Chain A
Amino acid sequence: MIKHLFKIVWNRKRANFLIIVEIFFSFLVLFSVAVFAVYYTDNYRRPLGYSYDNVWNIEIERDRGQTSVQTSNVDDGKTPPAAQGPNPTISQLFYALRGFDEIESVAGAGTVPYSHSTSSSGYELNGALVYFQVNRVTDSFKDLMRLELVEGRWFGKEDAGANYNPVVINQRLAREVFGGESPLGKKISPDTEFDGRPRSREDRVVGVITDFRKDGEYAGLGNYVFERNDIESSTGEVPNNIVIRVRPGTRAEFQERINNRLQAIAKDWSFEIEPLSDMRESFLRIYVAPIVAGGTVAAFLLIMVALGLTGVLWQNVTQRIREIGLRRAKGATAGKIYAQILGELMVIASFGLIAGVLVVVQFPLLDLIGFISKGVYVSSLVISLVLIYILTALCGLYPSRLATRIHPAEALHYE
């Protein structure tokens, strides 16, 4: 039966060629949208690792002397902070913030969830190149953001005199670097600075958290490292952000009071106060907007193709009235005619899809979509295949119904 269908399709290959081309392109369009949709959905259902409700961010903008806007030193990532000693202004700001009744806790952070600034780093660890994002935070950050500790402890005052830098990493990084072993107490820094000097203090893992997905629900998974920023000590630095957890129900008006107080303390600095939930909304839009736009365009393209295909198939059926009439006269049932028309269509679709799959298979081979996992890739491939088959079948329904209505006597009379 299938062999027979192939033969029929092959005999009309010139007429079917354009349909195959159309299905081929439709598949490519659908696949490129599906990949992103599946990728985002897959990311979305993974745990964030923190809670953003009732957390507000205060971004500090100040003159930092001759620092660069975006530096990326892949070899080392962190140029050691210039010894500057504790900054009195930042301590005053923390003190003032803790004084507000509306504020439950205060912490400093290098970067916060749903912000556009990222600090990443990477170096060779245990023979493999490892990349991760780094965030220097103060001790209260963990409880404020409700991070979930799975192993060890968070850093705190007890680390003040230590001869190492305490760091907390996420599970993913722990698995990548240490495999099945417990990472606690292990070193997670290279032996030398990027300029070749030996590193004075090693970074030592003191705890493991589930995750900290700074870029939010839709972003891919990555490695994360928290370093300790002790703003009271000589190695402390002024954080780029102060996060505060406010009492539930605190109104936006409170921002003005905070701003006035902070501005009175630090006249040369600027502050941007925004609840994380607001930042989240505008941040996620950057992910959602392109896929909505792309999805809309793709949907219209597919509707257009579907309409066109219906028209072409309809025309095909009217051309083949005599052939179908003959089959009916020889006793073929309406069901068999259905099966033939739809079967032929499926064979045509398969040709287009095979060509499409051959193209799509090149992407992972050429490493064009390295950020996408195998599972996401395969499931979006399957989803696109199934959808195209369903779509073509739907296009064939009406024309093949017309075909089954053909009365043999009339059909054979045709001309």
Chain B
Amino acid sequence: MLRNYIKIAYKVFLRRKFFTFISLFAISFTLIVLMVAAAFLDHTFGPLAPETKQERSLGIYHLLFRGERAESNGPPGYGFLDRFARNLPNVEKESFFTEPGSVYSYKNGEKIHSYLKRTDGQFWEILEFNFLEGGPYTPDDEKNGNFVAVINEATRSKFFGGGPAVGQTLEADGQRFRVVGVVSNVPMFRITPFSDIWVPISTMKTTAYRSQMRGRFMALLLAKSSADFAQIKEEYKSRLSQVDFSREPEFTTAIGDAETFFEFVSRILSPRQDSSNPGSLLAVIIAFMILFMLLPTVNLININVSRIMERASEIGVRKAFGASSWTLVGQFVVENVLLTLAGGVIGFLGSYLVLEAFSQSGLIPYAEFHFNYRIFIYGLALALFFGLFSGVYPAWKMSRLNPIEALKGGVR
């Protein structure tokens, strides 16, 4: 039976090539856009290396001090983290590090721009970087203020022409570091691991950071398991109420959370930046996708309706020979799903090409968009959704055709 449907579908598609083309174009284009968007989201939030332990990691990215008439928000300072984010319950390891900052180096009169991140030694124990050469610096390096650096592949080729770099030195921001390790490039959207050059925190030009409440630092907390998240969050929040504002009396409360990156983004987007609501951010993303899909869907339904009307006499014959409405609906939906799956294949190819182009273009440093099973399943689900949704209404309409009218070819 199904084989017959497929055969008929194939013939129908070939007969009206223009319609088939429009449908395929619509489906594949929509899938390309949605899958590229999904790849971006996955690239930003998904558990990609080196953040392989993401499912049991929390971060402290943001701190909000609020008073009656003043507000200050931004990343916390080292002093704050040292005082409030150490030894939280059920946290296996914690790491403090700065946001990546721009630094410039000069080599033979040429300026090289890189991002530099200052981290502690634990950073390398929580995150699993892929070392191409050498290894990480240790907590001892950090303690002793050794001027050592881990660099990424791109920086190695900029400074050392791609040759071995371990043991050599490079200058950045007026300081000279000895390279101890080289890692694969990390995409820029991954703000926790991302940088070009990583150096110990203690190589900062002054030691003022040690007492700062606000600054450019973030914390990464590795919990024993994700089940401990609630307890960690609770303890961190209760510690926030102990923040002493006697030196900055314009503020009265500290607001923050130990959170996942997605929770953090949803907090930043919330109107007062004080409550994270990942559910509603997810809802907004899904709503946008549905809104975007509306137009292609209406378009497909439209084309499908036209297509059926054209086949009115065929349907009349089938009906006259006893085919039930359900059989016909089934046949049409199968046809439509076949078409959408074909569009899906084109869509996969197209989004692969678009993502490759993005990766190659260097618009987003070190972005490497790869298809993974998450995106694949998502795309497949979208294609099926399309096929079913855009097929059901026309099929229902078709099943209500009056066979006599249909045989005469007169359809209103």
A interface residues with partner B (beta carbon < 8 Å) = 15, 18-19, 21-22, 25-26, 29, 61, 63, 65-66, 68-73, 75, 194, 252-253, 255-256, 259-260, 263, 267-273, 289, 297, 300-301, 304-305, 307-309, 311-312, 314-316, 318-319, 415
Decide: B106 and A18 in contact? CB cutoff 8 A. no
By secondary structure, the A interface counts as helix
Decide: B173 and A270 in contact? CB cutoff 8 A. yes
Decide: A311 and B18 in contact? CB cutoff 8 A. yes
Q: Is B104's CB within 8 Å of the partner chain A?
A: yes
Q: Provide the B64-92 mask, 1 if CB < 8 A to any CB of A, else 0.
A: 01000111111100000000000000000
Known contacts A268-B206, A307-B25, A66 near B310 by CB under 8 Å: no
Known contacts A22-B302, A308-B302, A69 near B309 by CB under 8 Å: no
B interface residues with partner A (beta carbon < 8 Å) = 18-19, 21-22, 25-26, 29, 33, 65, 69-75, 101-104, 106, 109-111, 173-174, 205-206, 208-209, 212-216, 247-248, 294-296, 298-303, 305-307, 309-310, 363, 408-409, 411
Decide: A263 and B174 in contact? CB cutoff 8 A. yes
Closest CB-CB distance, B44 to chain A, in whole Å?
Answer: 16
Known contacts A19-B302, A256-B106, A308-B299, A270 near B111 by CB under 8 Å: no
By secondary structure, the B interface counts as mixed
**B174, B307, B409: the one within 8 Å of A259 (CB):** B174
Decide: A25 and B298 in contact? CB cutoff 8 A. yes
Query: With A and B bound together, what is the CA distance between A311 and B302 in angstroms?
Result: 9
Query: With A and B bound together, what is the CA distance between A129 and B275 in angstroms?
Result: 29
Closest to B63 in A: A69
Decide: A270 and B106 in contact? CB cutoff 8 A. no
Known contacts A66-B247, A71-B72, A22 near B104 by CB under 8 Å: no
Please name 6 pairs of A and B residues whose Cβ atoms are closer than 8 Å in the assembled complex, sorted by A.
A66-B212, A252-B110, A255-B111, A307-B21, A308-B303, A314-B18
Query: With A and B bound together, what is the CA distance between A71 and B69 in angstroms?
Result: 11
Closest to A29 in B: B295
Decide: A63 and B208 in contact? CB cutoff 8 A. yes
Known pairs A22-B295, A25-B298; list 19 more (Cβ under 8 Å): A15-B305, A21-B298, A22-B298, A61-B101, A68-B214, A69-B214, A70-B72, A71-B72, A73-B70, A194-B69, A252-B111, A253-B109, A269-B205, A273-B111, A301-B296, A307-B22, A308-B299, A311-B19, A311-B306
Decide: B206 and A304 in contact? CB cutoff 8 A. no
Closest to A308 in B: B299
Closest CB-CB distance, A271 to chain B, in whole Å?
Answer: 8
Closest CB-CB distance, A10 to chain B, in whole Å?
Answer: 14
Specify which chain B residues have a CB less than 8 angstroms from the CB of A71 in the assembled complex.
70-72
Decide: B73 and A259 in contact? CB cutoff 8 A. no
Decide: B71 and A72 in contact? CB cutoff 8 A. yes
Decide: A304 and B208 in contact? CB cutoff 8 A. no
With most chain B CB atoms within 10 A of its CB, the pick from A29, A260, A300 is A300
Q: 4 tightest CB-CB pairs across the interface, nearest first?
A: A69-B74, A256-B106, A315-B306, A68-B72
Known contacts A259-B106, A311-B18, A63 near B299 by CB under 8 Å: no
Specify which chain A residues have a CB less than 8 angstroms from the CB of B301 in the assembled complex.
18
**A15, A19, A252, A304: the one within 8 Å of B296 (CB):** A304
Known contacts A259-B106, A308-B303, A65 near B29 by CB under 8 Å: no
Decide: B29 and A300 in contact? CB cutoff 8 A. yes
Decide: B103 and A66 in contact? CB cutoff 8 A. no
Query: With A and B bound together, what is the CA distance between A25 and B227 in angstroms?
Result: 45
Decide: B29 and A304 in contact? CB cutoff 8 A. yes
Decide: A312 and B205 in contact? CB cutoff 8 A. no
Known contacts A63-B206, A255-B111, A308-B22, A69 near B215 by CB under 8 Å: yes
Query: With A and B bound together, what is the CA distance between A358 and B320 in angstroms?
Result: 47
Query: With A and B bound together, what is the CA distance between A270 and B206 in angstroms?
Result: 11
Specify which chain A residues have a CB less than 8 angstroms from the CB of B104 in the assembled complex.
255, 259, 271-273
Closest to A273 in B: B104
Closest to B65 in A: A68
Closest to B408 in A: A415
Known contacts A255-B106, A311-B303, A26 near B295 by CB under 8 Å: yes
Decide: B69 and A267 in contact? CB cutoff 8 A. no
Specify which chain A residues have a CB less than 8 angstroms from the CB of B408 in the assembled complex.
415
Closest to A11 in B: B412
Query: With A and B bound together, what is the CA distance between A75 and B250 in angstroms?
Result: 13
Query: With A and B bound together, what is the CA distance between A147 and B102 in angstroms?
Result: 29
Decide: A308 and B33 in contact? CB cutoff 8 A. no
Closest CB-CB distance, A63 to chain B, in whole Å?
Answer: 4
Closest CB-CB distance, B231 to chain A, in whole Å?
Answer: 29
Closest CB-CB distance, A322 to chain B, in whole Å?
Answer: 9
Known contacts A25-B294, A311-B19, A18 near B205 by CB under 8 Å: no
Decide: B74 and A315 in contact? CB cutoff 8 A. no
Decide: A69 and B75 in contact? CB cutoff 8 A. yes
Specify which chain B residues have a CB less than 8 angstroms from the CB of A256 in the assembled complex.
106, 109, 111
Decide: B70 and A18 in contact? CB cutoff 8 A. no
Specify which chain A residues have a CB less than 8 angstroms from the CB of B411 in the assembled complex.
319
Specify which chain B residues have a CB less than 8 angstroms from the CB of A273 in the assembled complex.
104, 111
Specify which chain A residues have a CB less than 8 angstroms from the CB of B174 in the assembled complex.
259, 263, 267, 270
Specify which chain B residues have a CB less than 8 angstroms from the CB of A259 in the assembled complex.
104, 106, 174
Decide: B299 and A305 in contact? CB cutoff 8 A. yes
Query: With A and B bound together, what is the CA distance between A68 and B72 in angstroms?
Result: 6
Specify which chain A residues have a CB less than 8 angstroms from the CB of B247 in the assembled complex.
66
Decide: B25 and A304 in contact? CB cutoff 8 A. yes
With most chain B CB atoms within 10 A of its CB, the pick from A256, A314, A316 is A256
Closest to A25 in B: B295
